Structure 1
Amino acid sequence: MSQNAGELRHRIKVQKLTSGKDEDGYPTPEQWVDFMPLWAKVTHLSGKDLIAAQASNSKIVARVKIRYREDIDTTMRVIYKGKTYAIDSQALEDTNTGYESVTFLLSNI
């Protein structure tokens, strides 16, 4: 079964935190850098889901679904429409083959 390309119509940016050394060997401050832009399906929680999440002390506010990949994790963050979200879950694989798409849960930063 193939992925519906029209479903992934939102443009997101995934960023990762990096640190390094300058030309003299001194450590540079950590900073967020763009890891990659991706097409995704961003779904914000409905009012009912948001209330239920808050009742269980969850800070999840949205889900993001992307094509299957293994190089995105919870140390990264997502930028969507100028808002920054933390990735709060490991990749949740699709229910068909597990290799079509992955979904991450997002929270506000």
Structure 2
Amino acid sequence: MRIGDLRHRITLQKVERIRDSFGGEQLQWVDFARVWAAIYPLGGREYFAAQQINAEVSTKIVIRYLKGVEPTMRVNFKDRYFEILSVIHMAERKKELQLMCKEVV
């Protein structure tokens, strides 16, 4: 990864339980970190399921190492959201993370 490859500004988000005014809890996406990233579309497929056509796009997002990034998070890039399927810590050297994602359509 070269510094010039990190040209996309993304926001990593995580789910938190937020207590409402009635004492109940709601799940809400909150910002975890805003970082620079390289985004690489890997491929896509369309499939027929439950009488609906759904699009699934595989994407690799590379960021500098950041402690606390987990597969339960998602990536917000402009008006697009990506579900993180796995977090790969390349060579365990605390230099970069590869986020294998699926775009939420």
Shift of 1:28: 2.8
Quote the residue 2:53 is aligned against. none
Query: Residue 29 of structure 1: SS of its match in structure 2?
Result: strand
Provide the TM-score with structure 2 as the length reference.
Answer: 0.76
Shift of 1:81: 2.5
Question: 1:40, 1:64 within 8 Å by CA — same for their partners in 2?
Answer: yes
Misfit runs of 4+, over 3 Å = none
| Gap runs ≥5 in structure 2 | 48-55
* Root-mean-square deviation over aligned CA pairs: 2.2
Quote the residue 1:108 is aligned against. 103
Q: Which has the higher helix share?
A: 1
| Gap runs ≥5 in structure 1 | none
Query: Residue 45 of structure 1: SS of its match in structure 2?
Result: strand
Distance 2:90 2:26 in 1: 37
Shift of 1:72: 0.8
Superposition pairs of residues 67-78 of structure 1, within 5 angstroms: 67-78=64-75
Q: Which stretch of the first structure deviates more once superposed, 13-22 or 80-89?
A: 13-22
Shift of 1:13: 0.8
Confirm whether residue 93 of structure 1 aligns to residue 84 of structure 2.
no
Shift of 1:6: 1.2
Distance 1:93 1:60, change over 3 A: farther
Distance 1:32 1:93 in 2: 24
Query: Residue 26 of structure 2: SS of its match in structure 1?
Result: coil
Q: Which digits, 9 at most, give the CA deviation of each residue in 1:15-68, with x for residues without a partner?
A: 1111133467x133111111111101111114xxx46xx8xxxx5510000001
Tell me the percent identity.
28
Q: Which has the higher strand share?
A: 2
Shift of 1:10: 0.7
Superposition pairs of residues 10-29 of structure 1, within 5 angstroms: 10-22=8-20, 26-29=23-26
